[in-house]
Amino acid sequence: MNLLICIDDTDDLDTPGTGELAESIAAGITAAGWGTCGAVSRHQLLIHPEVPFTSHNSAMCFPAQISDHLLEAVTDYCVSVLLAQSAPVADPGLCVLVPERLPQPAALIEYGYRAKKVVLGKEEAYKTAAAQGIHLSEHGGTGQGVIGALAGAALRLTGNDGRLKGKLPIRSVHGIATVREICGCGIGQVRTVQGDVLADAERVLVGKWVKPVLLDHDIVVLVSETDGVAGASWIAADREIFQNY
């Protein structure tokens, strides 16, 4: 069984971020022998005066693969972590969905994209989750985090939204690596910002790390063309580009 697990609004400025908590949950699922988990992705939601958030209003989501009979145990574990580790002033929400069981995935995806553009309420989040058979629950404070948790899972479902949490270090020589070497670090593709996939032998100026994004359900490093600086024809996309994902 494939799952998407998403959490939102678990932290304050003095506690570990929601992304770290998502990584902790994923590590716990793996350590318990319940299944395997994929990378945590960050999904940017609407920045608006009416939307409470700690710093950037982003939800954190990761995929997991488990046996069907473990769904309840995994969900209960996620809840226990949120209750134990969320900041006292936070409004944490949890979403656990099974993609293949969604009756109307397009409707859920529409909700996710709307959460990037307009202010949504808890009532709509719960109504949407109920219609799709999705676990959605709040675990403290106002529970407003359910809005972002559902939206983040919906956006991860698209395979075309979000960027991976943190920075991915790349082994390189003087900051340059081939596409083959980059893909050997867990990257699916290296693409230009125009969408062209680079061949394995192409050389990229990556520096010490890259910031992968999600495109077509794959983990992708975006690059821009250079004038051959330092012996590389391409350079990893800067913040102005990847922050749009």
Count the neighbouring beta carbons within 10 Å of the beta carbon of residue 120.
Answer: 20
Same domain, 180 and 129: no
pLDDT at 188: 95
Same domain, 220 and 156: no
pLDDT at 208: 80
Same domain, 159 and 172: no
Number of folded domains in the chain? 2
pLDDT at 49: 61
| DSSP codes of every residue in 61-129 | EEEEEE-GGGHHHHHHHHHHHHHHHS-TT---EEEEE-GGG-S-HHHHHHHHHHTTTS---HHHHHHHH
Q: Say how many residues make up the chain.
A: 245
Last residue of a domain, one of 130, 163, 196: 163
End-to-end CA distance of the chain: 27
pLDDT at 10: 75
Nearest to 2 by CA among 161, 112, 157: 157
* Sign, Cα dihedral of 20, 31, 81, 43: positive
Last residue of a domain, one of 122, 143, 163: 163
Question: Cα–Cα distance between 46 and 65 in angstroms, integer?
Answer: 30
Q: Model confidence over 13-70: pLDDT tens digits?
A: 667 788 999 999 999 999 999 999 999 999 999 866 656 555 567 899 999 999 999 9
Same domain, 175 and 159: no
Last residue of a domain, one of 163, 188, 210: 163
Nearest to 92 by CA among 102, 101, 81, 103: 81
Name the stretches of the chain with pLDDT < 70.
12-14, 47-56
Same domain, 63 and 119: yes
pLDDT at 48: 60
Sequence-distant (6+) residues with CB within 8 A of 18 are 7, 8, 9, 10, 11, 54, 58, 59, 60
Same domain, 173 and 159: no
CATH number for the domain spanning 134: value is 3.30.70.2200
Same domain, 157 and 182: no
Domain that holds residue 179: 167-242
Same domain, 101 and 132: yes
Same domain, 119 and 238: no
pLDDT at 111: 97
pLDDT at 240: 77
pTM given for the model: 0.91
pLDDT at 227: 80
Same domain, 83 and 187: no
